[in-house]
Chains A and B, each alone.
Chain A
Amino acid sequence: MNPIEFDTVQVGDALPALQLPPVTRTTLALFAGASGDHNPIHIDIDVARRAGMPDVFAQGMLGMAWLGRLLTGWAPQSRLRRFDARFQGITHLGNAMRCSGTVVEKLEQAGERCVRIELLSANQFGQTKIVGEALVALP
């Protein structure tokens, strides 16, 4: 794979999208353990129901981690300067998230040539769950 370079990146370029498999209870259990988020609302249906939810649902940070994979799959992580996410909806069991990103600006920041990327995570029904933004410095 050729390294991404500032001069060859254009505003409007799309990052190669990342398609995730449907969220399962196993996905949530593994992420609870690995991330340290042991909030039972994500892994114990009894707790989720007592909280008024129909079932367990995904940790927000799992969705953000997937957007992180989109970014680090495109440019090395050492080039990532900022990464912001706004959680807009709950990711339910069975949701198959698609992470996408678009270059929206080329700029210089702190003496580095950077691109600003708009990020989106949406399920198979087109419902947006996370919007975000990243700043990546490019050679």
Chain B
Amino acid sequence: MIDKKWIGHELPPSVLPIERSRLQFFAKAIGETDPVYTDTAAARDAGYPDLPAPPTFLFAAELDSGAAFRLIDDLQIPIAKLLHGEQSFSFHKPACAGDTVTVRSTVSDIYDKKNGALEFVVKLSRATNQRDELVAELRSVLVCKN
């Protein structure tokens, strides 16, 4: 069973500098062909200061930093039993190339269903930019399938 002592645990902040080339790579990886996501001129014509990060891109912050996998290690969830159950984003401000986003997360809940056959970890995150403006809020539900 996952130790409930981790409820309230704050992950170390993850700092993600948003780079054009990374966004272009992400667009390629998801098959995005809208030039707003790859061509700076098209992004500016659409009203963005630079290439916008696609809606789910900020999930990369805690993957790049290693914080996401460190949490899974801390909780002692074997990678073979790990599933991503749910993911939510609330958007407040666009994040664009040139911005530096910091994601700060807290484990808000740990619970189980079916007598422990399924365990759930809920993580809430706030993403802010270099001007300390709230960019997005994230909610992740990780599932450990025992």
Contact = CB atoms under 8 A, between A and B. Distances in A.
A22 interface: no
Contact of B88 (A52, A60, A76, A84): A84
Interface in B82-110: 83-91, 94
Contacts, number: 105
Interface stretch (B2-10, B54-62, B112-120, B127-135): B54-62
Given A34-B25, A50-B80, A78-B94, A68 B85 contact: no
Q: By DSSP majority rule, is chain A's interface helix, strand, loop, or mixed? A: helix
B84 A87 contact: yes
Contacts of A37: 60, 63
A61 B84 CA distance: 9
Contacts of A21: 31
| Interface residues on chain A, size class | 35 or more
Nearest to A66: B30
A69 B30 contact: yes
Contacts of A31: 29-30
Nearest to B92: A81
Nearest to B59: A61
Interface string A77-88: 110111111110
B28 A84 contact: no
B79 A86 contact: no
Given A39-B79, A69-B30, A81-B91, A33 B25 contact: yes
B56 A68 contact: yes
A80 B52 CA distance: 13
Contact of B87 (A34, A77, A85): A85
30 contacts: A30-B29, A31-B29, A33-B29, A34-B22, A35-B63, A36-B60, A36-B63, A36-B64, A41-B79, A51-B80, A60-B84, A61-B56, A62-B29, A66-B30, A68-B55, A72-B34, A72-B54, A77-B36, A77-B54, A77-B55, A77-B94, A78-B47, A78-B94, A82-B89, A82-B90, A83-B56, A84-B87, A86-B85, A87-B84, A87-B85
Given A35-B26, A69-B30, 16 more contacts: A20-B31, A31-B30, A33-B25, A38-B63, A61-B59, A64-B87, A65-B56, A72-B55, A76-B47, A78-B47, A78-B48, A83-B55, A83-B88, A84-B86, A84-B88, A86-B86
